[in-house]
């Protein structure tokens, strides 16, 4: 997915471990066009730009395609990151400049690694009536961020969740990393975890988590308590390193759904501007120039004409600078 904001903010990305729970409220962002599909964005913000290497989180739907026109994101570029598409409902057609043509389907993981540079498109198919899901980005560490691009697909099994007495309280699909004894068949460049968790009405799910990770709990439904802190729809509860357990309590009379993200705090300061992740102002300038010139770095996407691409927005007047890591 592209960040189609006309004036994207400079995001100085750093992950700041801390104790306790921080609730991040989403902001509404249009994906472009007169009848633009709206997404709810919780990462990045100026106060919390990353959870582990997770550096971008858009939550959208359920949205009738007849009202919004669905997802119509024509070819656009990426560098230095991985995109993760996770659908609850609908279908999206993915094409990229590496020649990958894949369908994004509910409950199936699609991870595209931009590496040195890639371009891709994402379009909801004609048979889709509702569109509902998440788009996530992962920052790549310096050692591999200039590697060739790649693509991985994985359909995780649904794992039942029970309370200590053996009663069913929900289910879980782990699409990245390991949680609750379930491990995803996905290779990542840094230690990460991602899972969809369904919680039965008025039920509680206790998840044992890696204490070296920081975690984010993104709520798809109306209400939830995370370790005793209430959050609402599209909000993200941040839990810093040191926690060994996440207690998720569904306070409603209908099933609750969350996506739990986790990872080791990302130890590199990065700059994220528009669809690029880099390390210096000059890198970002170079990426933008190459995209505007339709350079070889980003290739071309089959099925689209030479005039069908998203131009990069203007750069800000000031130099882009990474935020220096606070003293710990």
Task: Indicate the burial class of 21 (C-beta count within 10 angstroms; 0-12, 13-18, 19 or more).
Answer: middle
Domain ranges of the chain: 26-155+271-298, 159-263
Average pLDDT over residues 277-305: 97
Average pLDDT over residues 255-275: 96
How would residue 321 be classed by pLDDT, with cut points 50, 70 and 90?
confident
Average pLDDT over residues 207-228: 98
Contacts of 222 (CB under 8 A, 6+ apart): 232, 233, 252, 254, 256
What is 26-155+271-298's CATH number?
2.60.120.10
pLDDT at 326: 38
Supply 205's token pair: 């799910």
Examine the pLDDT at 324 and tell me if it is beyond 90: no
The number of C-alpha atoms within 13 Å of 271 and in the hemisphere containing its C-beta is 17
Examine the pLDDT at 174 and tell me if it is beyond 70: yes
pLDDT above 90 covers a percentage of the chain that reads 83
How would residue 288 be classed by pLDDT, with cut points 50, 70 and 90?
very high
Supply 61's token pair: 């739907």
Examine the pLDDT at 192 and tell me if it is beyond 90: yes
Pairing of strands 130-139, 101-104: unpaired
Average pLDDT over residues 40-48: 89
pLDDT at 107: 98
Tell me the C-alpha distance between 275 and 32, whole Å: 15
Average pLDDT over residues 51-64: 95
How would residue 69 be classed by pLDDT, with cut points 50, 70 and 90?
confident
Tell me the C-alpha distance between 129 and 112, whole Å: 25
pLDDT at 35: 55
pLDDT at 16: 42
Supply 176's token pair: 């990245």
pLDDT at 322: 81
How would residue 32 be classed by pLDDT, with cut points 50, 70 and 90?
low
How would residue 68 be classed by pLDDT, with cut points 50, 70 and 90?
confident
Tell me the C-alpha distance between 7 and 28, whole Å: 15
pLDDT at 50: 94
pLDDT at 2: 52
In SS3 terms, the chain reads as CCCCCCCCCCEEECCCCCCCEEEECCEEEECCCCCCCEEEEEECCCCCCCECCEEEEEEEEEEEHHHHCCCEEEEEEEECEEEEEEEEECCEEEEECCCCEEEECECCEEEEECCCCEEEEEEECCCCCEEEEEEEEEECCCCCCCCCCEEEEECCCCEEEECCCCCEEEEEEEEECEECCEECCCCCCCCEEEEEEEECCCCEEEEECCCCCEEEEEECCCEEEECCEEEECCCEEEECCCCCEEEEECCCCCCEEEEEEEECCCCCCEEEECCEEECCHHHHHHHHHHHHCCCHHHCCCCCCCCCCCCCCCCCCCCCCCCCCCCCC
Provide the 10 A C-beta neighbour count for residue 270: 27
Instruction: For 291, list phi and psi in degrees, rounded to 5.
Output: -65, -45
Average pLDDT over residues 76-84: 98
pLDDT at 66: 85
**CATH fold of 159-263, please?**
Jelly Rolls (2.60.120)
Examine the pLDDT at 289 and tell me if it is beyond 90: yes
Instruction: Spell 32-51 as b/e; 16+ CB within 10 A means b.
Output: eeeeebebbbbbbeeebbbb
Task: Indicate the burial class of 24 (C-beta count within 10 angstroms; 0-12, 13-18, 19 or more).
Answer: buried
pLDDT at 13: 45
What are the C-alpha distances in Å from 52 to residues 43, 193, 264?
Answer: 12, 9, 5
- The closest alpha carbon to 13, from 327, 328, 324, 288, belongs to 324
pLDDT at 67: 82
Average pLDDT over residues 221-246: 97
The pLDDT tens digits of the residues spanning 113-123 come to: 999 999 999 99
How would residue 30 be classed by pLDDT, with cut points 50, 70 and 90?
confident
């Amino acid at each position: 997915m592209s960040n189609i904001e006309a004036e994207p903010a400079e995001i100085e990305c750093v992950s700041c471990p801390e104790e306790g729970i921080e609730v991040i409220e989403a902001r509404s962002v249009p994906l472009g066009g007169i009848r633009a599909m709206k997404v709810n964005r919780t990462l990045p913000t100026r106060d919390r730009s990353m959870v582990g290497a997770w550096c971008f989180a858009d939550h959208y739907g359920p949205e009738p395609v007849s009202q919004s026109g669905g997802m119509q994101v024509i070819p656009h570029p990426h560098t230095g990151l991985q995109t993760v598409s996770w659908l609850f409902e609908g279908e999206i057609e993915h094409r990229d400049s590496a020649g990958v043509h894949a369908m994004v389907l509910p409950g199936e993981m699609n991870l595209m690694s931009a590496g040195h540079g890639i371009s891709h498109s994402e379009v909801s198919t004609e048979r889709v009536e509702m569109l509902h899901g998440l788009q996530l980005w992962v920052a790549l560490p310096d050692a591999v961020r200039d590697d060739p691009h790649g693509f991985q697909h994985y359909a995780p099994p649904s794992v039942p969740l029970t309370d200590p007495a053996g009663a069913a309280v929900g289910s879980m699909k782990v699409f990245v990393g390991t949680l609750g004894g379930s491990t995803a068949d996905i290779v990542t460049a840094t230690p990460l975890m991602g899972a969809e968790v369904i919680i039965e009405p008025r039920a509680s799910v206790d998840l044992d988590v890696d204490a070296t990770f920081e975690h984010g709990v993104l709520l798809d439904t109306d209400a939830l308590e995370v370790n005793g802190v209430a959050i609402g729809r599209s909000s993200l509860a941040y839990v810093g390193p040191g926690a060994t357990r996440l207690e998720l309590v569904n306070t409603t009379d209908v099933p609750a759904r969350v996506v739990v993200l986790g990872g080791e705090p990302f130890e590199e300061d990065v700059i994220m501007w528009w669809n690029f992740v880099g390390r210096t102002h000059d890198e970002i300038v170079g990426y933008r120039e190459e995209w505007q010139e339709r350079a070889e770095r980003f290739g071309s996407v089959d099925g689209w004409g030479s005039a069908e691409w998203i131009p990069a927005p203007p750069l800000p007047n000031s130099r882009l600078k990474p935020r220096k890591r606070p003293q710990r």
